[in-house]
Structure 1
Amino acid sequence: MLTIINAHVISSNGIIDRGWVSIKDDCIVAIGDYKTLPKEGGQGEIIDAQGLYLSPGFIDIHVHGGGGADFMDNELEAYLTIAETHAKFGTTAMFPTTLTSEAELLWETFSVYEQSLSMNQSGARFYGLHLEGPYFAMNQRGAQDPRFIRNPDRLEYQSILTKYRHLIARWSAAPELPGALEFGDHVCEAGIVLALGHTDAVYEDVVRGVAHGYRLATHLYSGMSGMTRKNAFRYAGAIESCLLLEEIDVEIIADGIHLPEPFLKLICKNKRKDQIVLITDAMRGAGTSDRESILGSKQNGTPVIIEDGVAKLPDLTSFAGSVATADRLIRTMVDIAEIPLMDAVQMLTLNPARIMKIDSQIGSIEKGKQADLVLFDEKIAVKMTIVGGKVIYKA
């Protein structure tokens, strides 16, 4: 038994001042305020939070790397490094994310990821792969390698789904591409979350995509079409469509750079708080002081520079992923988007857990859920990270 006392507990129903949470093995077994705290002897080991906030562990559903490593390095050591790096900033669960690449490298990724699941991890836990590509619009590729962008290939994706559906939690694609709607049907039938991203779609394309399962927007505004003209007529792009359509949840890179203040506030005004998910979209430079880095694998990735708190292509034509960590996302939403702390935490805990269909296990501080918890101060500086009831990081 482990009991955390004297914390501002961020529960689904509000913040419990001078609250406590008891953990047995890897599960939360009791929650309360100071009036209901069990007497000494019934608490087991005690952690005195001394007035810190106690939050559910942060869940990052779109992350490429950190600590100088990238998942596309296809090395077990890279997986460990990324998991441990982001745990220092409060991430307790993550979905390793690929980049558009040659088919051989993707197949290798499946193999290495499967091996990683049997490792003795001391960082954030993995809950499934997020395949970002390769079925994207060339005009919205951003930093994705144009050599490997292609239309949905039925033989290719059916082969992947047949062999590796148990490893894939999410797949991002552009719904307007030839074959993308049929692709969406197959992905959804496999029980995988389908997202629209790096897309040049107009409103009608997005509406059709929704009907075939595209219900999550991959990094809203980044790699997405906006309003366009055809023969002098205006057409709503993917951005306007995602803001408008009730069926679509949105993820945002809330580092304050990819989306400055007006965009963050516009999103919060147009989407319900339970429809917004915060992501790092972090590349290998996250959690480091590096000024030069590589997006993607060490072998054939894209060189980038890191300045102004973001990764950029050397010619400055595009951002190339973020170097954000989860704590920075919360700070940005509270300080810049000016939303309540509870709402910001929900966007990085319960919301991603629900969308990724793991909210029965994690995402909130509730009796019976896994004890993934974070202690942080009023500046969202992480002081302790707990995964499955075990302290894996302490500042």
Structure 2
Amino acid sequence: MTEFPSVSWHEKGEVRTAPWRSGSDLPPPKRVVIADDHMKASVAYHLACEGTAILWRGDFQNARQLLVALARRIDEPHKGKKQTVAEAERLTSIASSLPLSADEFHRYRLMQSQRARKLGMLLLPFDADFRIPLRRAPDVQQACTEAYGKATMPFIASLRELLGIIGAHEWRTKGVEVPVLSARIHPHYGVFAPIRAEYVDLVAAAPLPPVLLETPARGVAFDIGTGTGVLSALLAKRGVARVIAAERDARAVACARDNIALLKLDAQVEVQQVDLYPNGCAALIVCNPPWIPARPVSPLEHAVYDPESSMLRGFLNGLVAHLDPDGEGWLLLSDLGEHFGLRTRSELLELIDAAGLVVFDRIETRPHHPRVADVSDPLHAARQAEVTSLWRLRVRK
């Protein structure tokens, strides 16, 4: 009980308390009311906006419908004519001619954080075995075990968090198709899924270092921050004799090991839990760090946000010590941070130069995921201009 913060509420004339669980490390709500199927969406919206959480005692499916109604009210707080696609395109055209400032990006993140906080105000009770004691509640035991570990006690969590856990379980079960692997990768809860294929395609297309091909029996590659293990698997499929997949997050280590085993690549790929670099040197060192230099506000955001470019700096600054002579470092990086006003191209080049490295080639691609075409996205102009690059680096002679 002491491992988790607690949430308290009044019910049936007494004060009740239960552990609070949040994969996003959100604090427990300070005010909680009990509600069931009779609560109207307008009342729930008012409570959520003022910071009062709603502990649900009604039908589970009705709770899901209430969450949808809350999202609709949060996203469209003012009545009136909805913006047309043509109007959105016109505003995007205007915005695309203007640089997006870092302040604007941070305001957008604040807006998203406030939205998540309000939607997180609809709470569910969980029994000690991860069962939900509500009518028409689904069986979420396996999904919760994957996210939380072994069940030990009853607790309270938000419905929004549960839906994320269910979604992660479905991704893990069916996997993500990776065409260049001709296989599926199965992401675990809390591990970044390779749903954006462009960086994987870049690694599939880039020519391997000659030194790696000249001595294939002794060739070694490092994959720094391996995540699901997708890039390590791809390098092994391309014929690299030995790949060390380095990762510090325990969830990602378990995920990468599972994927490598499923792909039957254990003989070529070794997953190590290390802070950044494994011991030794390699002919090829690949890193796909978080692309946006901003502070994550939850553990799940560490795959996207790299505060003060710390992982990027660590990768670049360690290359000289860990590259074989004539070896290559491959940096996979989107320029979204530049479009968001968070980092300039000259700052990136200065980091590369200060690490004693030179850029001798760069392979580019543009994203083709659905959000690029979403003109209603406030960040649409930046996403449309985005370029993902594979920077081929060598030690400066």
Provide TM-score, normalisation by structure 1. 0.28
Which structure has the larger Rg? 2
Instruction: Name the structure, 1 or 2, with higher relative contact order (CA <8 Å, separation 6+).
Output: 1
Provide TM-score, normalisation by structure 2. 0.28
